[in-house]
Amino acid sequence: MKNSLPTTGTPELLLCVSPYIPDDFINEQWALGPTGGRRRAFSAAQLWRTHLLALLTPAHSLNLVLELLSSQPAWRQFARLRHHDRLPDVRMLHEFRAHLGVQGLRRINARLVEPLLASLWHRQDTIALIDATDLPAACSGFKERARVPTRRKGLRWAGGP
Confidence band, pLDDT 50/70/90 cuts, at residue 127? low
The pLDDT tens digits for 27-49 are 888 876 655 556 667 888 999 99
Q: How far apart are CA 139 and CA 142, in angstroms?
A: 8
The pLDDT tens digits for 141-160 are 666 667 777 777 766 666 66
Q: How far apart are CA 59 and CA 65, in angstroms?
A: 6
Task: Indicate the pTM of the whole model.
Answer: 0.69
Q: Where are the domains of the chain?
A: 11-120
